[in-house]
Amino acid sequence: MTTGPARCGEQELRTLFLFEKLAPDQLARLCRDGRVEWFDPGPVYREGDPAESFYSLFEGTVVLSRRVGGQEVDVSRTSVPGVYAGAFQAYLGDQVPQVYNNSLRVTERSRFFVLPAEAFARIMHEWFPMAVHLLEGLFFGFKNTQEAIGQRERLLALGSVTAGLTHELNNPAAAAMRATSALRERIARARREFGELAAEPNLGEDLAHLSELQDMTVRRAGQAPPLSPLQAADLEDEVDDWLEEHDVTDGRQLAPVLVQASLGTDWLDDIAGAVPEHLVGSALNWLGCTVEAELLLGEIEDAIHRVSALVGAAKQYTQLDRAPYQNADVHELLDSTLLLLAGKLGPDITVVRDYDRTLPGIPGYPAELNQVWTNLIDNAAWAMHGGGGGGGTLTVRTARDGDRVLVEFRDTGPGVPPDVRSRVFDPFFTTKPVGEGTGLGLDIAWRIVVNRHGGDLRLESTPGDTRFQVRLPIDPAQPDTPQESR
């Protein structure tokens, strides 16, 4: 609350560092255009209101704060005379929205020099035309550069995901192609084996019975439980002995196929009792082709499911078919990102998922959160691959932290040096070699977590234990208009 204007003294105005180099006539103009005001403890102006005045402190204590989600977060507290706030971008005019980008309050009765925004803009343009042009260039140049490199950072993240997706899709696709080629050969062989059986004289009813045996074999193979390596080895020895005792041709090649389908000597006895003795070998070879065809069909089905899962993960990652702001399962988002970045992580990085499955959904922008996960995982992978160890362990942990959800990415890389930890979220700062990083990955992550979701992003690091911790509110306020600066 203001308590009214007070006298503006030119010599006192000169004591403020912004004005100490001004000429007497310039100080006189400032006193004519501006005013001195006392403010009782409380708000001076609020973030988002029209920026009407420029404030410089004579005496008192000021606190600057920003609105993050539904909370006010103090960013600065000072009693230094001359500190300024308010409409200090008025010289840009209508090129940018002229609103207060923070809130200002005083904790004790405080005195300010107050200059209307219009007067501040006129004075800047009349007294410092060259400085105004330089400031405009710096402001818009930095903003444009940040946007351009931010776009490149997003494309790099998309490139990492695309490379991982391509790598992961290649494996099941190649497996399906191999299985299809082998299946074609087995089907041709099955036709030959059945032709030889059909050519047997006086086969009669036994030929019709073979179809029933085929159906029974497929059914039993599909219902058989999987075997452990030791069980499979023992069963293969038994099947091999049985085939040798019954003089079955190619028994050595047939035994592993039957064991893979969990078909043992009891099934062999059933077949031997169902066909004439002299046809046992031919029937088993034909049924073996059937078993191999079923196994290959299973491989193709698994490959297709794998491709489908990858496409589903890509769809989950991009969120293209969903509303931008929605209630999201953080574990689904993490799993889709980890799946798509599997190629980036490589076989030398072990991924440990330590999830609290009782966590509720998080209201937010899932596609943007996926970009946060991508940037943090990519940083962890780079640290572990480039740290001399050639790999390590990435632990992704979720937990409840009060009224927030904690998502932690922990890597076993060399860590972040103490002298740069406070700068890792700064725009364009990077510890990667030239050409390998833009310095905007963590800045973008910070903006998405803090500005867009009202959350918190922190770094804790020691050699062998680096943790990026994301905290997101479970019940945030309605999303604000995205902010461009911190």
The pLDDT tens digits of the residues spanning 222-268 come to 777 777 788 878 888 888 888 887 777 777 778 887 877 777 788 78
Residue 142 has pLDDT above 80, yes or no: no
At residue 128 the predicted structure's pLDDT band, cuts being 50, 70 and 90, is low
Nearest to 428 by CA among 100, 150, 54: 150
The average confidence (pLDDT) of the chain is 76
How does pLDDT run across 428-445, given as a tens digit for each residue? 545 554 444 445 578 778
* Residue 96 contacts residue 50 (beta carbons within 8 Å): no
Residue 199 has pLDDT above 60, yes or no: yes
pLDDT of 65 reads: 84
pLDDT of 150 reads: 54
How does pLDDT run across 104-119, given as a tens digit for each residue? 999 999 999 998 888 8
Taking CB atoms within 8 Å and a gap of at least 24, the contacts of 11-19 are 12/58, 13/113, 15/81, 15/82, 16/56, 16/58, 16/81, 16/82, 16/113, 17/82, 18/56, 18/82, 18/84
Sequence ranges of the domains in the chain: 2-127, 162-307, 324-473
How does pLDDT run across 277-319, given as a tens digit for each residue? 777 777 777 777 878 787 777 778 777 776 776 666 566 555 5
Q: What is the CATH number of domain 324-473?
A: 3.30.565.10
| Cβ burial, residue 18 (10 Å; 0-12/13-18/19+) | middle
401, β-bridge pairs: 404
Question: Which pair of structure tokens corresponds to residue 426?
Answer: 């700064």
Residue 135 has pLDDT above 70, yes or no: no
pLDDT of 60 reads: 92
Residue 320 has pLDDT above 60, yes or no: no
Q: Give the 3-state secondary structure of residue 247.
A: coil
pLDDT of 374 reads: 85
Q: What is the CATH number of domain 2-127?
A: 2.60.120.10
Residue 70 has pLDDT above 70, yes or no: no
Residue 1 has pLDDT above 70, yes or no: no
Question: Which pair of structure tokens corresponds to residue 209?
Answer: 């019975």
The pTM of this model reads: 0.45
- Percentage of the chain beyond pLDDT 70 is 71
Residue in the block written with tokens 């509720």: 360
Residue 409 has pLDDT above 90, yes or no: yes
How does pLDDT run across 22-40, given as a tens digit for each residue? 888 888 888 888 889 899 9
117-127 helix and 129-198 helix, angle to the nearest 10 degrees: 100
At residue 75 the predicted structure's pLDDT band, cuts being 50, 70 and 90, is confident
Residue 272 has pLDDT above 70, yes or no: yes
pLDDT of 166 reads: 64
